[in-house]
């Protein structure tokens, strides 16, 4: 009798376990399907939506402008140079408009905003993509002067803020989107100079803007790319600027790092960039496109295998872990080696 009762209890346990597992799998499947349907739901009327993109001479901005142009959006692409604007127009449809913009010049921003205002009319501006950026000067903090920080901050952060503030009335009219290009280095500072500071600032500005503007129907998304082959990661420019910084250092600072440190630092960067940098810029521009076209855009988009598998996970770990990992990537100064 006891054996029969034990067998019955065992069978009930097995059945309940299977039912629980089946229900769990069913719920997960339903949740995944619902998320996919929600994520795939797009807005309509692309041909009536205006998108303004900064930094379109090359890189992400250039590719996004062409990508959205093919989708039928009314693209207004801001370039720093006349050559950049001419090259872009030569490969886009007649509907794509270009203008010249220096995001560090308030008068240039005001002129661009007026042109955008005349172009969009009463429809307002559906999308603003703050993409313009620079990386150099970048390197060890002690090598920098204040002007080296401001060169980068003026483009990557102050420029983003001023362009956004001036275009907010047009964005409110369209209940549109703001897409700000930050970086994984806005989550984890791995080098000195203004780049990491600016991208942390973009993250903070975007978060506060999102919370303020959702009352008016404006959605704000942040793009956090890993390392990609663009002008920002152009090794010859970074190397030339590092040598400039080194040349202006006092001798006692050079001595503390050691005679070979600069070359070791540059070599380490070359190796890291060759391993990490992806040539597929569409991984980033597809995130930008989703942020502009999805009915329910994400707050943050990570792009690139290194962002997803390395930098962003590392940013959540205790500081001593991330410090150790970053130390492994960079050469040691002479004084540290001798301790």
pLDDT at 13 (0 to 100): 78
Task: State how far the Cα of 141 lies from the Cα of 186, in Å rounded to an integer.
Answer: 16
Q: Which domains does the chain have, with CATH numbers?
A: 45-338 (3.40.50.720)
pLDDT tens digit string along 294-337?
999 999 999 999 999 999 999 999 999 999 999 998 999 976 65
Partners of 303 in beta bridges: 225
Considering only CA atoms, which of 230, 257, 275, 270 is closest in space to residue 333?
257
Low-confidence stretches of the chain (pLDDT < 70) are: 1-5, 7, 335-339
pLDDT at residue 336, rounded to an integer: 65
Please, which residues bridge with residue 192 across strands? 139
Q: What's the pLDDT score for residue 12?
A: 77
Q: Which of 195, 257, 261, 301 is catalytic?
A: 195
Task: Specify the pLDDT at position 16.
Answer: 80
174-104-138 Cα angle (round to 5): 115
Please name the residues in contact with 274: beta carbons below 8 A apart, sequence gap of 6 or more. none
- What is the rounded distance in angstroms from the CA atom of residue 265 to the CA atom of residue 254? 13
Region of residue 304 (left: phi > 0; alpha: psi -120 to 50; beta: else): left
Residue among 88, 79, 86 nearest 55 (CA): 79
pTM of the predicted model, to two decimals? 0.92
Q: For this structure, is 36 an active site residue?
A: no
Phi and psi at residue 39, to the nearest 5°: -70, -30
Q: What is the structure's pLDDT at 60?
A: 98
Contact 133, 159 (CB under 8 A): no
């Amino acid at each position: 009798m006891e054996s029969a009762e034990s067998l019955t209890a065992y069978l009930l346990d097995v059945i309940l376990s299977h039912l629980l597992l089946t229900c769990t799998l069913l719920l997960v499947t339903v949740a995944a399907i619902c998320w996919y349907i929600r994520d795939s739901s797009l807005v309509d009327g692309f041909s009536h939506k205006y998108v303004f993109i900064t930094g379109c001479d090359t890189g992400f901005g250039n590719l996004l402008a062409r990508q959205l142009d093919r989708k039928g959006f009314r693209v207004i692409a801001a370039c720093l140079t006349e050559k950049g604007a001419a090259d872009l127009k030569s490969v886009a449809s007649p509907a794509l408009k270009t203008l010249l913009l220096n995001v560090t010049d308030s008068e240039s921003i005001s002129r661009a905003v007026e042109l955008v205002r005349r172009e969009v009319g009463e429809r307002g501006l559906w999308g603003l993509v703050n993409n313009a950026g620079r990386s150099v000067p970048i390197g060890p903090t002690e090598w920098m002067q204040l002007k080296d920080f401001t060169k980068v901050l003026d483009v990557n952060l102050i420029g983003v803020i001023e362009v956004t503030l001036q275009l907010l009335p047009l964005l409110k009219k369209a209940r549109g989107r703001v897409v700000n290009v930050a970086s994984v280095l806005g989550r984890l500072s791995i080098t000195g100079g203004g780049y990491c500071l600016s991208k942390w600032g973009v993250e903070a500005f975007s978060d506060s803007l999102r919370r303020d503007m959702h009352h008016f129907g404006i959605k704000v998304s942040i793009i956090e790319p890993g390392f990609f082959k663009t002008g920002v990661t152009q090794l010859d420019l970074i190397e030339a600027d590092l040598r400039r910084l080194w040349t202006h250092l006092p001798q006692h600072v050079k001595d503390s790092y050691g005679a070979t440190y600069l070359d070791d630092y540059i070599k380490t960067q070359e190796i890291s960039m060759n391993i990490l940098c992806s040539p597929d810029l569409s991984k980033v521009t597809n995130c930008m496109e989703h942020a502009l076209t999805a009915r329910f855009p994400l707050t943050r988009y990570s792009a690139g295998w290194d962002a997803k598998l390395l930098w962003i996970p590392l940013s959540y770990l205790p500081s001593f872990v991330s410090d150790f990992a970053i130390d492994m990537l960079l050469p040691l100064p002479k004084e540290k080696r001798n301790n």
